Structures are given as structure tokens and as C-alpha cells.
Structure 1
Amino acid sequence: MSINKYDEQKFWEEVDILFPDIVKAITSLAKKSYISITNLRNGVTWWSEKAMEYFGMQENYTIRGQEKSKRSIHPDDLEDFRRGFRERVAGENMDEPWEYRVRDGSTYNRISARAKMLNDKDGKPFVIVIRYNNYGISDEVDATTGLHTEPALDREIREFLEESGQGTLLKIGLDQFSHINVMYGAAFSDKILNCAAQELLRLLKGKGYVYRLSGAKFVISFKKVSKAELQQIYDEIVETFENTEVEGKKIPLKVSAGAIFMEPYMKETNAVRSRLTYALNHSRLEHHGELVIFNDEVCGSDENQFELIGVIHQCATHNFEGFRMFYQPIADTKTGKIRGMEALLRWELEPYGMVSPGVFMEWLEQDPCIFDLGNWILRTALTDVQKLRKETEGFFVNVNVAAAQLERREFRSAVMNILKETGAKPEELCLELTERCRD
């Protein structure tokens, strides 16, 4: 049965008497969203129960500018908050959210507000409805800093790649933060991270968006920024972090940073993230914390190189297609007898041909896929060594492992399980650190 105009009008007339209760019921269902409805003629605002509870208000109805709240807006965001509200009341930027931070205990949560204007019968602004999203209780928001986390970052990278193919990412790492953890404890370290996050937001002033990654790492995304501007921003971050002070204690933070300017031919989110991590590690290990821009450091504008690395990365995360093991004999220098072999990884797939690990391994070592790829290498090498152990007693195989593998808690159990699966003896396996691990 279709609903005609008469039936639609009748429906709303019948429920009109309950409309205030309907609004209250709808707003009570949201766990991280709050609603305010403001009568622009008299300045009276109605707040939903969830808003009252979170903001610490005593009444549902307030006069504009006289709201009494236990949670205060961050001083650096106060003007942005006021300007955002004035613009919406004036009917400007209605399709855009505006954000600010609100104190919640000893930390700040990020609030995103979005408004809708309702006009009276004469077409004049009458009521403004605002929905506030509390990112501090969102699954995609870090509880320590109030910043968005990796899922949100991945979504933004996908949007960059799909919509314009452009954008810039700056990844910042706090060097030797594990030492700070040991010296001050986890609780105080969290306060340092929160302080670092607030400083990044203060320095950016809306120029970019900040994300918290695992450990002591952050990523800032920019829709449009020049290399000179990026360097200036990073210089300000370095200077600010060197003078970090938390609860009266001066905690100088040393940082490293890598950046990537995305190009239209970049297609894959994980590949972009891997390149960004590669640049950060080069900053930390080879450039003493200076900003490293991936596009300049590695391949310039070599699109074919980018494409190749992207393909190999995809293979490393999908059944290891194209990866092959070769072996170099290890001989006894006294007798000349072959005693073992060294496992050498190669990649070969048409139309690219054979590719040595020097082209791709440093990249993959910065990506989570290195653990699974490393296990595949171990399993393949130990399976192959079984074919030779019967002919040569004490025959062994050398396999390189990366720092990222050793850092995984399950590394030891993974090696033991692979030994068991392949029937190899522990003495038949020799693990060697890669050259980059030895730095």
C-alpha cells in the first residue's frame, strides 16, 4: 500500500503530541553522540540527556552563552569552537563539521560537531540542531591521546588514492621511548604521549590531521602542503618536543620523521604505509632524525620502481607468489667439503623477471608482512635441507632474519613449530641477523 500526502500528514498529526518524547528517545539511543536544539529567536537551547551527562550540565535548558559545564574546552580550541558556532548560526559551512577538544578528567577528548538549520514558514532561520560526536569513546580513537587511530588513517589514505591520487603523509616517531617507559613508568609515559599529541594539534592549527599509531608514533595527513612548508612544520615539531614539560618535569623528546607525497600512480594503501615507514627508519638510522621525504630519498619519480615494489608487496601478503629460494653452498675451509648452505631469497614473476632482495627486502622489513614471509622462508629452507641431511651428517642451513621478526613475541614459538612441522633438528638451523639489524 502506498502512502499518499494525506496519509503522511495524518501520520505526523497523530504523533505530533509525542514528538518531544520521540526526540528524547532517539537521542538516548546514541552512546557517543549528543544533540542540542537552539531556538535562535530567544537563545534557549535544549540538551539531550546524554549531553547533560557528559558535559556535566545541571539543566536540560540553557540560555546561549550561560551553559555551565564541568568539562571545559581546550584553550587553544576555544576560538575555533566559537567561530564554528557563529558560522553555522549564520548559515555558513553547514555541510562541514568543526572540531575541538573538551577536557574529560585529566585528558582531552576530541568532539566533532555538525549542524542543521531549520527555517520558519517565512524562510528565516529559526532552529539550529547540532550533533556532537565524542571521539574519545570511539573504537577508532586512541584513549590515551584522543586522536584517531590506524583504521581512520587507512580510510583517509584510500580516499586520497581514490579521489585525487594526491596528499602528503608525515610520520613521526619518538626515539628511544621505551627508555622513558622504563624510567617513568607506563602511566607517566601515557601523559607524555598525550602532551605530544596536544602539541602536534597546537602546531598544526588546522593545516593537517593527526593520527596516533602503535607505540610512540604519529602520522599527520595534509591535503596540500609544499616541501618547504613540510620542513618548516617539522622543524617546529623538533624544537617543541625538545622542550617538552609534563607535570613540572622536563622530558626532552628526540624525534625522527619520514614523509611521502602521494602520486596518482600509487594505488595500494599498504604500499603507501610501507614506504612511509621506510622513510621514517631512514631518518632514524641514517639521517640522525632529519626529515626524510621518500620520493627524494629512494626512487625519485620512478613510476616503474613504485609499481614493482607494490606488486612484490601484494605477493608477500597473498600466498607468497613469485618468491623462490636459492642456496649458496658453505664449505669447510680446511677440507673443502660442503657442510651447509645459505638460503637466498629471490622474486620472479612475469613480466618483471628475476628481482634480487636488495630491491625489495628493506621495504618488506618495515611492513607487518615480514613476519609471515620470514616464516615461509624458514619453512621452505628447512624442508629443502631435509633432502641433503641424509647425504651429509650435520648439514645445516643459514637463514637471515629481520629485526621486525625478532621483535615479535611469537617468534620463538613460530621457529619451534616450523622445526617440528618439517622434522628438522635445531642444530640444522643457523639464524643470522640481516645487515640492517646489525646497525
Structure 2
Amino acid sequence: MHRITYSHEVTIAASDGQTLLDASIENRIPHHHQCGGQARCTTCRVQILDGLSQVSPRTPLEEQVAAERSWDDFTRLACQTRIHGDVTIRRLLHSPQDVVVLDLDELGTGSGTEERELDVAVLFCDIRNFTSQTEHSLPYDVVYFLNGHFSAAAEVVLNNNGLVDKYIGDGLLAIFGIRGEPPDVACRNAVRAAIAMQDAAQRLSPIFERDLGISLCIGIGVHFGPVILGRIGHPGKRQLTVIGNTVNAASRIERMTKQLDAPILLSESVVAHLPGALRLGAREERHLKGMSDTSVLSRCDGFTDPDPVLLVQSSFHRIAPRLIGFGTRFYAILFESHPELRPLFKNDMLVQTRMLVSMLSSLVKGLNRATEIKGGVRALGGRHCRYGAAPADYQKVADALLQTLAEFLEDDFTAEVRGAWVSVFGTISGLMLGGADAPEAEPIQAVCS
């Protein structure tokens, strides 16, 4: 047996010839692997800090990935790297933001000498009446207020494949489409993020009003168009950012939200890429400050049809602060209803619960990247099969999951939210069963008791 030490984390034992990814999974260490360990993504990448001579050479698949991204010898794919001695490694990806930033660094912007022109959706969010509201507030209270708002808003951006470009005072600039998504996907992700931001602000505002005497009311403008993506600033400290008229227009559109009494305003270029998908107010033709031409703006009140991703992400956000309690209650319901499943869980239940909520969180965050996470979900299904799970068990899990959601969400667990979770779990269970070489999943029809 060999030792794998995760920098600033833990040390585990692994068999000779075992891949770093398999060792992580076997020891219940969360480790990104969206493609399921097939070298078709780079989310499992690690840095070998010590013991490079104790790991296998790169496979042909890994050589191709490394060459395309100009990796040094110490950056490796955990799914392709087998150990033959003690090593110390560092996982490079811990969040969706890490995935986006490292992809950008490796695919042409890391050197600071290249810029790229992209068509993206730009979202600008600003707090209304921030200066007047905080004029007499203590500085640390203002910091607490801003961090609470930015934390919730940025999480929404990351969950929808966006990149938080920068914070500007009480404003936030985010971009969608930098990973090559089609225009309609980038625009839908941006609109979904805008709706979820408003939902988060409405939840947080009563808390801030009670504790700090500050209300949280935000305006959001979204525009789609070309930008230049690159690193700007002094050679010693350059920041990855986007510049161009599209960014300026998004900021100006946000400024119009107060005048038009619209929480979310969209440009015509965004609306055009989502025909029939949005509930819109009257179209307004306005002249934006600093712009020579007039712009057509539309208030957005949501999607025409329920958006399952938005409903699942928004409801999951409500239970996120209580995830361990959620996982504990889920297993209690599952084992009470189906005691025959209890022997399948041989680990310490606290460890199992942490793995559950980590997996659930990753799946919810990956709903906008279905094609990318498909391999990882299939691999998860294969592991469940080896543990002894049967296809019929997925329906039992669905029943327990929905019942737990109903308890935790209470009145917020509407028919639409329930339908969204049923749809999402049906898709995920189908992929898992595919990974177990079992027939495709029947549509989940669980009924909450």
C-alpha cells in the first residue's frame, strides 16, 4: 500500500497501480470528474507536489489533453495517473468558479498576451438606494451586508455557468457564454441567474432590514453582444475581464430599471435569442446614456413555462444552510420506509450523509452542464450497482427525497417545484442506470406522503 497526501487535507492509503481518482472515490474524498474518468474533461486535474517519479507516465489521452493546454509535468489528470509509491497532491478544482477560471487560463488567456473576441450575455446588478441607505451605517455592518448579498448573487452566477467578472462598489458584473455555449443557452443562463438573484434578494431583505435597518432591492440589466476577453492592468497584477460596448450597455440598462420600475430589464438582443420563452412587459424604446442609438428594452417577469433548473436550484438554496440535517432526515425516512436498503450502507452514516449532500450539491450545480456531467453520473451509477443497488431502488430513493423536500420546504414545495425535482431526478436516475448497464429508468412518478 502507498500513501496519498492531499495538501492541507488528509492522507489516505491506496493500492499499487490505483488511479488517483479511484483512490479519492474509494476513500470518500469529493473529487470532480464530470466525464466519469474517461479523460474527456479536465475537472479531475491535480498538481503533483511531491513524488512525481512515483506515478505512471501520461497515457496517450492525457498527453493530448496536456499538449492542448500546455500543462507542465506536475499537472496531471487524476483519472489517468496511477501511483507506484507515496505522493503528495493538490486538487486544483473545488468549485464551479475554479472550473471556469482555469479553463480560461489554459485556453488562451493565461499568458496575459492574448485577447479573444466573444459573443456573450452580460449581466449587471446594482443595489438601489445603497448610498442613502448606508450613509449612517457602521462600516463593518456595510461589509457584512455586501458580503451576504454578493455571496448569494455570485452562487447563482456560478450555478448557471457564469463567471463573476468583478464587483464594483455595490454592483456585480457577470458574463455568460465564455465556454463556447450557443447564444440561446448563454442568454437563458443569464436570465435564469437574474431571476434567481431577485429571488435571493427577496429572501435576504427582511433579514437585513431586521438586523441592520438596510433593505436589499436590486435592479438587473442583461445584454448580449461582442466583448473582448483578456487580462487588463499592470503587468504585475492583471485581471481577467471583459470590455466593450456590450458591457457598457448592460450597465446602462441596469440604470433604467428604476426609471421603468422593472426589477429585470433585457435588451432586444437577449429577447431575440429566446423567442417565446419569456414573460415580458411592454417594449420600451429608450436612449441610454452615452449611447448614440436608442435601445429597445423589455421587462422580464420570468419564463413562459416552468424552468426545472431554476426551480430546483432555487428550492435547493433554501435548504442549503441545513444540508446535514436534510441528509440525516432523508436517510431516516428511507430506512424507515425500506429497511431492506440499510445493509447497503456500510460506511459511518455521518460520512455517508456528508457524501450525499456533497453529491446532491454537485448535481444541482451541474444541471446546466448535462452533457459534461453525464459521464460522472453514469460512473456513479456503476459504483452504486457494484455496491448492490438495484434499478427498483431508485424509485424508493425518489420517494424518500421528495418526502424530505416536502418537510424542509413546507409551503414552498409547490406542485411546480415538486414536478421539477421529479423531472431532474428522473433524468439523473436514467443516467445512473445507464452507467450500471441496466435498462433506462422508468419516469419517476413518486408521490409524497
After TM superposition, the score normalised by the length of structure 1 is 0.25
After TM superposition, the score normalised by the length of structure 2 is 0.25
Name the structure where helix makes up a greater proportion of residues.
Answer: 2
Higher relative contact order (CA 8 A, sep 6+): 2
Higher alpha-carbon Rg: 1
